[in-house]
Structure 1
Amino acid sequence: MGRDAKRAKQARRDKRRRKEDLGLDGVPPLFRAGFVRVAAAWDRAVEAGLMADGAETKYHFTPDGGVLSVAEGRSGQVLVNGERLTPSVAERLRREMPLLAGMISFYEDNQLAGRGLAGAPEDGVMPLAPPRGPDPMPALDEQALAEAQAATAVLVRQGKVAEPVGAMVIPAPRGIGVLFAVGGRDGELYVNGRALTGQWSEELRAKVPELSSDLDRLQAMRAEWLDSPPEDRTLALAGACTDPNCHTPH
């Protein structure tokens, strides 16, 4: 048997041992139900071909019994609890497990940067964050907002966008520039009056570099929308941003 084959065999043995270490006998009762659900989800992901059997899996727990398990899929995409970490999945998980919202955002940012599981903390119970007040809301650039609203009003007159109820308004942290995002009747995502194509995204990134990560999230959301048949997205952005920097609904 060649050296590479021996290493692969040993890696499989080590992975089986790690799985045995994470068996229910070693899991506190508080986390067992969640652990069973996650294990079944990973089995389905393997059967569907999303991930390789024996892939590295991270487990994070919260004091209230929440279980977040993360792995890297065959395509390099981050998988969470057996699902692709799309923007809609990330938002749903943040609502379901608010104590792990920061961890979910960490993996989402890693995915956007192509880092997979790099830099992830060790498995285990995540400590509760100390209570803190809300972050101060950044100043809103009223002129930039008015320009974005005027551009969006053109879309309304063209029939592409309904009245911008539920628009996502994201001001730049230092108060210069704003992103005004709305869902279109045609299934498109419009930001500051134009469809968020790659070219328009780069132009906006140059104008408001502080909001580059927000543009990344909006681009990922648009890509997810375009994967499904067009539908009226008028209210799709309402409540879709959990960042305190968001003004939504508008």
Structure 2
Amino acid sequence: MGRIKKTRAARDARRRPGVQPQAAPPFPQAEVERVMRLWDLAVDTGLMASGTDVKYHFTPDGKVLSAAVGRSGQVLANGERLTPSVAERLREDMPLLAGVVTFYENNELAGRGLDGAPQNGVMPLLPPAGPDPMPAVDEEALAEAQTATAVLVRQGKVAEPVGAMVIPAPRGGVLFAVGGRDGELYVNGRPLTQQSADALRAKVPELASDIDRLQAMRAEWLDAPPQDRTLALAGSCTDPNCHTPH
């Protein structure tokens, strides 16, 4: 009897003008098969072990994001290492999953693998959230960082810092990051070594995740042959509080 009532209710809803039953989005079979082939390649090249658990996330517009943990313990996305450049490309390609990409990127930086990952399945379309209020730039800290960077310019290590990434901290302080002609990443006038990164975290703890991301970017740069990174940071920051280019 209950099933008959439900059937009638659905039928009546279809008959009412302007009322349409919600249909599930079609399963992106072709895209899933393409991504599965990428995972097969990752297994063939030794990037991940056969049989590794893979998480799959879909959007109503047919995009697919999948994640797994590779042999080295690094988070993989759609069959490749989730480096900063890969994360930026995925966010641009599938904006409805940008938050999920950032979740996995943050997990990678913290060494948490897939811990706490969202459930498999279709990700709902959520209204875009507005950015947090932009903190005022600490002009004194910015001037100090620019002065330190000017020394690098005079030394020929950095071009005029067009495209610099400027990230203000809510309670004062700033990160002023530039790519060097020598392939180095400089923040506030110093190479972003582990020692200088730790010093920055102590000075601006609110920007610790930004420092983590810059460190990961520097590590990716240093894995490649040296090249001029003058404009490498332009457009690389998705944080609404990030000022770039500067």
What is the TM-score normalised by the length of structure 2?
A: 0.88
Query: Is 1:105 the counterpart of 2:102 in the alignment?
Result: yes
For the residues of structure 1 that align with 2:53 and 2:27, how far apart are their CA atoms? 24
State the percentage of identical aligned residues.
78
CA deviation vs aligned residue, 1:130-165 (integer Å, no higher than 9, x gap): 234333211110100000000000000000000000
Give unmatched runs, 5+ long, in structure 2: 1-23
Identify the match of residue 143 of structure 1 among 140, 143, 156: 140
Greater mean deviation of Cα atoms: 131-140 or 148-157: 131-140
Identify the match of residue 62 of structure 1 among 35, 59, 63: 59
Alignment of 1:3-82 (within 5 A): 29-82=26-79
For the residues of structure 1 that align with 2:27 and 2:117, how far apart are their CA atoms? 23
What's the counterpart of residue 246 of structure 1? 242
Identify the match of residue 118 of structure 1 among 100, 109, 115: 115
What's the counterpart of residue 9 of structure 2? none
Identify the match of residue 227 of structure 1 among 212, 220, 223: 223
Moved over 4 A (4+): 27-30
CA RMSD, 1 decimal:
1.3
Seen in structure 2, the aligned counterparts of structure 1 residues 197 and 105 have a Cα distance that, compared at 3 Å, is same
Q: How far 1:76 moved relative to its partner?
A: 0.4
Query: Is 1:191 the counterpart of 2:183 in the alignment?
Result: no
For the residues of structure 2 that align with 1:31 and 1:150, how far apart are their CA atoms? 52
For the residues of structure 2 that align with 1:113 and 1:134, how far apart are their CA atoms? 24
For the residues of structure 2 that align with 1:179 and 1:152, how far apart are their CA atoms? 11
Q: 1:203 aligns to what SS in structure 2?
A: helix
Larger proportion of helix: 1
Cα contact 2:25–2:60 (8 A) shared by 1: no
Give unmatched runs, 5+ long, in structure 1: 1-26
For the residues of structure 1 that align with 2:70 and 2:56, how far apart are their CA atoms? 16
Greater mean deviation of Cα atoms: 29-38 or 177-186: 29-38
What's the counterpart of residue 199 of structure 2? 203
Seen in structure 2, the aligned counterparts of structure 1 residues 188 and 127 have a Cα distance that, compared at 3 Å, is same
Letter in 2 for 1:245: N
What's the counterpart of residue 153 of structure 2? 156
Greater mean deviation of Cα atoms: 233-242 or 27-36: 27-36
Identify the match of residue 166 of structure 2 among 157, 166, 169: 169
What's the counterpart of residue 6 of structure 2? none
Seen in structure 2, the aligned counterparts of structure 1 residues 212 and 131 have a Cα distance that, compared at 3 Å, is closer
Q: How far 1:30 moved relative to its partner?
A: 4.8
Q: 1:166 aligns to what SS in structure 2?
A: coil
Cα contact 2:183–2:222 (8 A) shared by 1: yes
What's the counterpart of residue 4 of structure 2? none
What's the counterpart of residue 178 of structure 2? 182
Larger Rg: 2
